Structure 1
């Protein structure tokens, strides 16, 4: 399998209203050979959208990890400023509460829009019941996490089921990435089972041994913190940002919030080193280059390193 079977293109964000297209529930991820679109659907000027809306990947990673090479245009026009855009989400800021959004909840969404649910949505669950250790970091730093989730309703349950807007306070909420990455942390929230893996066979719902088939029918969701929901649905604070800054934010959010995907980064521009052709004297352009190869089973440190390297390389052009 080639490291570069999947390519995610990040073209220049336009000043107009651009909404990202999210990939949802792709069973083709089993073969790890699907196409991932990005900034694709242009909306009318009256739509409520801006260039800071981030593309969220949501894929099924049950039997193999997708590999994505992000190809980024870092040409000179990326220095152009985009005026009046929503300021980026800052996890260290506590955003003013929006009616309908409550701090003790985590909110979830499905579908291809890639956007959070409405402020008045019934698609939420008690944050104390989140046992997905893989989500704790991304929810804290980015405000959202994408992955395959399921719920364990009560002590009398015999299997894990999909999330439901009619059951907001199940016994446990778990994610498939914990099984894949052998994450046994389940947090200290109300009713925490302590360390262990989710199971549907005895001992259940948790045990010390992994049951790798338990997540075979778990579905894909995007999960959001209440603070992120308040930022998204609150009154926008306008900011002037360059296209480069917006795109760097997108890259960081994609890489850090999709822990079931391995990423690499390439930049695409003229890549001119000052040399000329000996035959006609014309300039020689080398084109794009790989600045970070795809690393199998990326760790948190690998992701941080990719984002940091990408920021340095992109600024250099």
Structure 2
């Protein structure tokens, strides 16, 4: 492919902006290739709500890009199915794009990176029906100025998880069957620049490497929070590990506290060796570290 023109599948401009289209490119050799645009159209009726982002699939590296060209929108781009054979290599959601996987159960798996950049939003499930389960598998999950929303339970398995000024919000609803989410990173989890992982249910964060909450505003919060199997945990100045949540409701997922009890629960005197999330225990915050846990002027609740 050669040329300096444009390939456009952009949504139309109008009172309500049209959604971006779908472009698939299967080209091995490129020289001064044309620019490809798949963003939503401008909305005159509501300038802050342009059309939904389109998608660009590059068949040679097997990468999918959802890009709205820095045009803000409240409309999601649907991603209904991820292939199993062959797997996609990378998925990019960026520049104000919003993508959603609305199914009751879904498995999102790629060989390489899942990247959310520049106000990208990825959501799983439906906001008013938090009863879904999702699996996310990748080599790396990279987030910068972006958000992941989960309505239900998340099972995440990656090697590297990096967050920069980003949020992962897990809404377990009031359904005890999807009350536990697990984030597993075998090598590294780093939160920087006021990044937040928050669940209103149970959350287990596991790894075999390093967990780093770098500084002010970085936090991990859940009704029951278990950090386990990490070789090292660093909680920087102003960082927060919090369990249970301050805004805890009285639903089925809320842990039963023993503040008024005159009897100390047995598991507090004889802690179990199990490192998994166990909602029957009295613990609301467990930290199990192989080597060392370093804290600097942090809030540990």
Pairwise same-fold verdict (TM > 0.5): no
The structure that is helix-richer by fraction is 1
RCO higher in structure (CA 8 A, sep ≥6): 1
Provide TM-score, normalisation by structure 2: 0.25
The structure that is strand-richer by fraction is 2
Provide TM-score, normalisation by structure 1: 0.24
